[in-house]
Chains A and B, each alone.
Chain A
Amino acid sequence: MKLTKTGEGVLRKFDMDEIMNCMHCGFCLPACPTFRQTGLESYGPRGRIALMKGVANEKLSIDHEFEKNMFACLGCRACETACPAGVAYGSLIETARVVIEENKKSQAKPPLARKIAFEHLFPHPKRMEWMGTVLWAAQAAGLQNLASKTGLIKVLPRPLAEMQEAVETVASPKERKKRQLKMNAEKEKLFTVGLFTGCVMDVMFYETNQATARLLTKAGCDVVFVENQSCCGALHAHSGEMNGAKGLAKRNIEAFEKANVDFVVNNAGGCGAALKEYHHWFHDEPEWKERAMAFVEKMRDANELLAELPPLSFTKPMNVRITYQDSCHLAHGQGIRNQPRELIRSIPGAQYVELHQADSCCGSAGIYNMTNYDMSMQILDDKMEDVKKTKAHLIVTSNPGCLLQMKQGIIRTGMQDKIEAIHIMDLLARAL
């Protein structure tokens, strides 16, 4: 295949120095979940970087195979933690995906579902809310049940069909309307924080956002729900839709600039990692880069901030065994590993057990469990074997994708009456 003109322009986007930094030592291989599943070079970080080099040097074409290999990566970044040469794999894979998307744009139309999701759904909070309403209505009317009984569910793609089993009842529109836009600190006020509510998070996990806000007020913060914020753009960026991602980032930066808060807090590891990298997205727009830096400096994961604030006083002991599954983007992306564990340990009565390979991806990885369903489930099933061994009653996560994946894992292994998956903020709020 001959490279198109756009193809050549696109190639210059690769950071050749970063690619050359990889010295093929293979230290990253055992850390990579997809390599562990397949044993194939093309499914490991060393192989993926080599393929990028092949494409950048025009020895390989940007074809369907290259696309498959780049999108088979979870983007979990465990390889970055393992790499002694300090290769910034996360930004390499992002570039590879941008290159693929830009190359494709000139050629074919993106699949409709993807177009709808990326252009017409995630970027529009109102529409996300509307989807929430539909979902709530469906759940309230028992439609979901009906749908699965009548086989209507088969119309949905398989991953979506399985996923919807795992989704909890979403909050009703009435309940969502009740939200106060500002909640005051319950003791002497230390900071004002803006809550980054997220798109999926605020629809499917409305209660988790409320719980986060309550925890923060307990710990001495005024919490504001900043208006006009939007989706963080992580899914766009990881899928090669960089322009869409930047548009969303600009909206968020503006919204939080206006809100004038001390910190911006998020409770989704995946969003958080993207929010903390906004300045990298604007390397070619100096003015926005500066504004992004200021935004990034205020950004904290909820675990991170709660660990710095005066300790929460819990009143409801929990005499259960609890384990924790790291969110990749929290652990490998943001280096936040101890804080959530310490917070769990601080719950009176909680018996904490460490999960074997807790920081290895569960297979959720943004929309990976929809785009690469089979691989995602293989990884999940291995993960659940480790979860079983902990004999925990609760498995705690810090990211909505991971939470849904763990719920699905529990259903797949038939452990519904033995173990419950829960977001760390909901867990902490239960003990207040």
Chain B
Amino acid sequence: MQTTGMKKDSKISPVMKKQLQSIVGEKWYLDSPNDLYTYSYDATPIFQSMPDAVVMPGTTKEVSEVLKIANEHQIPIIPRGSGTNLAASTIPVHGGIVLNMTRFNQIIEIDQKNLTATIGPGVVTADLHNAVEAAGLFYPPDPGSMRISTVGGNMAQCAGGMRGLKYGVTKDYIMGLEYVLPSGAVLRSGGKNVKDVAGYDMTRLLVGSEGTLAVITEITLKLLPLPETKRTLVAYFTKLVDAAKTVEKVISSKIIPATMEFMDQGTMKVVDDFAKLGLPLEMKAMLLVEQDGPEELVTRDIERIAEIAKQEGASIVQVSKTMEDGARLLAARRAALSALSRLRPTTILEDATVPRSRLAEIVEEVERIAEKYQVQICTFGHAGDGNLHPTCMTDERDKEEIHRVELAFEEIFHTAIRLGGTITGEHGVGLAKMNYLHLKVGEGGIELMRQIKEAFDPNNIMNPGKIFANSERRRLVVKK
């Protein structure tokens, strides 16, 4: 049995190690067994694989020099933010260098005239929120992980969040990038111009590229004025389908709330256990709605939504009295995933998305599928944009059960596609979903993506083994 995490066949020669150390400084080059082990995982359960080194550059120039060496020796580079992604996107499946970008954590500029912010990719999302809000401005994308995740990670994964319904997701706020190609070339795309159609839109292409094309070293973001006020409403339902109908009806009444979150009974129970909110646990589902904007509009919309919910069969409708009250409920929703993990040792969260009008159908399908494969699945998510997170509580040590979980998820993805949806709404493909990508984009789509990758990264050093499936299935990649 192997008793240490040290790889015998490290791809990094002593000479390269010296070179890399002289680029970033010895302090920022890690390769001890413990250090390597702590960068062998991210927030995705089950996947794990050891890197050969962890490098933490501090400047664009350092990134460029590290990439040149890696490219020359064909060493994989795995860019990494806070490692909170749920698609195994930062697992070094082929070893190589984990390029930790957290030292790029400067907010370089908040431009009040153009309503933009220019930042390093390592800025933590919540820190960005605080900084721009202090200036009366607003950066809407708010993934549940925002207190930990970096904006670079959000960008590379195109993270969504609870405000997606009204405000869109990360891609809608990235205006310009500075990025480094494997060759070491430093390029820029986009910028502060609201209108910019000079050639292909490289910015859009890099958003969601999961670290497979280039390393991002600077980001220019679009900001909005901070909404005047916000209010929260909670509605509880005895039937799932009533919750779904409420979502549909609200939107067809031409109200776009900032947030419309859904939790099923299982999730409610666990969140309540954690956050001690006193939720009515006999209910089958709850909707959490937030509206922001000018006071009058918010009041009008929230009242109207309350009416709709009652008409559609909500048993209880509560409107939060204060902003703090509402914030408390939203914080509980943010903790849903982690709270679910209290139930069983391993928690596998998925990210199936359907057009809003198919919401009730997919939730019911998930229940049926869970029953069929005898696995425990709770569902919560961003109901307003049809983005659900069916989450399975299991135990990775039980191989037989894990197999049933895989079958269940496979059926869930096929169902999502059948209903006109997609295999991932916001978490990305990474390793976890690459076997299903063809369902969504087809073989032709995959081939075109491969060619694009080759243009950026001819030696395939940028996060190799992600997005594009090879022949074997890869749920269990615990190497070494």
Seen from chain A, the residues whose Cβ lies within 8 Å of a Cβ on chain B are 1-3, 17, 20-21, 23-27, 29-30, 39-42, 47, 50-51, 54, 58-61, 65-66, 69, 83-86
Residues of B within 8 A of A60 (CB): 3-5, 33-34, 37
Q: Which 5 A-B pairs have the closest CB atoms?
A: A84-B338, A20-B345, A41-B38, A47-B38, A84-B335
Type the 1/0 row for B78-89, where 1 means its CB is closer than 8 Å to any CB of A.
000011100000
How far is it, in angstroms, between the C-alpha of A218 and the C-alpha of B76 when the chains are bound? 70
Instruction: List CB contacts (< 8 Å) of B75-134 with chain A.
Output: 82-84, 102-103, 124
Q: Cβ of B83 and Cβ of A41 under 8 Å apart?
A: yes
Residues of B within 8 A of A24 (CB): 41-45, 83
Residues of B within 8 A of A42 (CB): 34-35, 38
Q: Cβ of A21 and Cβ of B341 under 8 Å apart?
A: yes
How far is it, in angstroms, between the C-alpha of A401 and the C-alpha of B306 when the chains are bound? 53
Q: Cβ of A23 and Cβ of B103 under 8 Å apart?
A: no
In the assembled complex, the CB of B237 is this many whole angstroms from the nearest CB of chain A, namely 25
Residues of A within 8 A of B1 (CB): 58
Q: Cβ of A58 and Cβ of B3 under 8 Å apart?
A: yes
In the assembled complex, the CB of B67 is this many whole angstroms from the nearest CB of chain A, namely 21
A26-B3 CB under 8 A given contacts A39-B103, A85-B338, A85-B342:
no
Q: Cβ of B35 and Cβ of A26 under 8 Å apart?
A: no
Q: Cβ of B82 and Cβ of A29 under 8 Å apart?
A: yes
How far is it, in angstroms, between the C-alpha of A51 and the C-alpha of B38 when the chains are bound? 7
Type the 1/0 row for B18-42, where 1 means its CB is closer than 8 Å to any CB of A.
0000000000001011110111111
In the assembled complex, the CB of A1 is this many whole angstroms from the nearest CB of chain B, namely 7
Closest residue of B by beta carbon distance from A65: B34
How far is it, in angstroms, between the C-alpha of A2 and the C-alpha of B2 when the chains are bound? 9
In the assembled complex, the CB of A274 is this many whole angstroms from the nearest CB of chain B, namely 26
Residues of A within 8 A of B45 (CB): 23-24
Q: Cβ of A50 and Cβ of B41 under 8 Å apart?
A: yes
Counting chain B residues whose Cβ lies within 8 A of the other chain, the interface size class is 35 or more
Sample 13 A-B pairs with CB under 8 A, ordered by A number: A1-B4, A2-B3, A25-B341, A29-B82, A40-B30, A41-B35, A42-B35, A51-B38, A54-B5, A60-B3, A60-B34, A60-B37, A84-B335
Instruction: List CB contacts (< 8 Å) of B183-231 with chain A.
Output: none
In the assembled complex, the CB of A137 is this many whole angstroms from the nearest CB of chain B, namely 46
How far is it, in angstroms, between the C-alpha of A50 and the C-alpha of B347 when the chains are bound? 16
How far is it, in angstroms, between the C-alpha of A60 and the C-alpha of B3 when the chains are bound? 5
Seen from chain B, the residues whose Cβ lies within 8 Å of a Cβ on chain A are 1-5, 30, 32-35, 37-45, 56, 82-84, 102-103, 124, 145, 147-148, 274, 335, 337-339, 341-342, 345-347, 395-397, 480
Residues of B within 8 A of A83 (CB): 338
Q: Cβ of B338 and Cβ of A66 under 8 Å apart?
A: no
Q: Cβ of B342 and Cβ of A26 under 8 Å apart?
A: no
Residues of A within 8 A of B395 (CB): 20
Q: Cβ of B82 and Cβ of A26 under 8 Å apart?
A: yes
Which of B30, B33, B147, B347 has the most chain A CB atoms closer than 10 A to its own CB? B33
Residues of A within 8 A of B147 (CB): 27, 30
Closest residue of B by beta carbon distance from A7: B3
In the assembled complex, the CB of A356 is this many whole angstroms from the nearest CB of chain B, namely 13
Q: What 5 new A-B contacts, CB under 8 Å, besides A24-B42, A24-B83, A59-B4?
A: A30-B147, A47-B38, A54-B34, A60-B3, A83-B338
Residues of B within 8 A of A66 (CB): 34
Q: Cβ of A59 and Cβ of B2 under 8 Å apart?
A: yes
How far is it, in angstroms, between the C-alpha of A398 and the C-alpha of B397 when the chains are bound? 44
Q: Cβ of A85 and Cβ of B84 under 8 Å apart?
A: no
Q: Cβ of A59 and Cβ of B347 under 8 Å apart?
A: no
Q: Cβ of B342 and Cβ of A86 under 8 Å apart?
A: yes
Q: Cβ of B34 and Cβ of A69 under 8 Å apart?
A: yes
Closest residue of B by beta carbon distance from A62: B3
How far is it, in angstroms, between the C-alpha of A26 and the C-alpha of B153 when the chains are bound? 14
Q: Cβ of A39 and Cβ of B42 under 8 Å apart?
A: no
Closest residue of B by beta carbon distance from A39: B102
Closest residue of A by beta carbon distance from B100: A39
Residues of A within 8 A of B274 (CB): 84, 86
Q: Cβ of A25 and Cβ of B43 under 8 Å apart?
A: yes
Residues of B within 8 A of A61 (CB): 3-4, 33
How far is it, in angstroms, between the C-alpha of A60 and the C-alpha of B4 when the chains are bound? 4
A59-B5 CB under 8 A given contacts A23-B338, A29-B82, A47-B38:
yes
How far is it, in angstroms, between the C-alpha of A20 and the C-alpha of B341 when the chains are bound? 10
In the assembled complex, the CB of A168 is this many whole angstroms from the nearest CB of chain B, namely 39
Q: Cβ of B338 and Cβ of A17 under 8 Å apart?
A: no
Closest residue of A by beta carbon distance from B335: A84
Residue in B33, B103, B342 whose beta carbon sits within 8 Å of that of A21 in the complex: B342
Q: Cβ of B34 and Cβ of A25 under 8 Å apart?
A: no
A65-B33 CB under 8 A given contacts A59-B480, A86-B274:
yes
Residues of B within 8 A of A29 (CB): 82, 148
Q: Cβ of B145 and Cβ of A25 under 8 Å apart?
A: yes
Residues of A within 8 A of B342 (CB): 21, 84-86
Residues of A within 8 A of B341 (CB): 21, 23, 25, 84-85
Closest residue of B by beta carbon distance from A23: B341
How far is it, in angstroms, between the C-alpha of A21 and the C-alpha of B3 when the chains are bound? 23
Q: Cβ of A25 and Cβ of B337 under 8 Å apart?
A: yes
How far is it, in angstroms, between the C-alpha of A383 and the C-alpha of B338 when the chains are bound? 30
Residues of B within 8 A of A25 (CB): 43, 84, 145, 148, 337-338, 341
In the assembled complex, the CB of A167 is this many whole angstroms from the nearest CB of chain B, namely 35
In the assembled complex, the CB of A417 is this many whole angstroms from the nearest CB of chain B, namely 34
In the assembled complex, the CB of B64 is this many whole angstroms from the nearest CB of chain A, namely 22
Q: Cβ of A51 and Cβ of B346 under 8 Å apart?
A: no
How far is it, in angstroms, between the C-alpha of A319 and the C-alpha of B339 when the chains are bound? 45
